[in-house]
Amino acid sequence: MGEILDQTSNVEVIAGEARVCVMDKIFDAKELHQGGRVGTTAPSIRFTSRQLEYMLLKLTELRDKYQQNTDLVVQEAVVILNNYIIQVAAEAHWEETVGNIGLGWWPY
């Protein structure tokens, strides 16, 4: 991911040499991520249908932009984007179904 961000204009990233050090510090500081969470389940976050549709649009645009690139790192990013698109599309479908039958909030 860092390699892709390095090649992207208007994106500020830290030096490649520092990334491993920063990641190690983040993993050690449990309060900065899910490792410090109390309980067994992550908090539920629910996006609206409109937010999910916007996410799908942007993910698809990004995937389409790089889909023809033959660089192996870029192609791996395209595979990851396709997986995100599938996940967001499934959640959007679920959200539309729940909204259409009037269930309101439903923990999933």
pLDDT digits (tens, 9 = 90+) for 36-88: 566 656 556 778 888 999 999 999 999 999 999 999 999 999 999 999 999 99
User: Does the global pTM surpass 0.85?
Assistant: no
pLDDT (0 to 100) of residue 108? 45
Is residue 96 predicted with pLDDT exceeding 60? Answer: yes
The span from the CA of 63 to the CA of 104, in Å, is 32
pLDDT (0 to 100) of residue 21? 81
Q: Greater confidence, 98 or 77?
A: 77
Helical H runs in 7-71?
16-28, 49-66
**Domain ranges for the chain:** 1-43, 44-108
The span from the CA of 10 to the CA of 20, in Å, is 22
The span from the CA of 23 to the CA of 81, in Å, is 22
pLDDT (0 to 100) of residue 67? 94
To the nearest whole number, what is the mean pLDDT of the chain? 79
Q: Inter-axis angle of helices 72-101 and 49-66, to 10 degrees?
A: 160
DSSP state of 102: T
Contact 108, 44 (CB under 8 A): yes
Summarize the confidence of residues 17-30 as an average pLDDT: 76
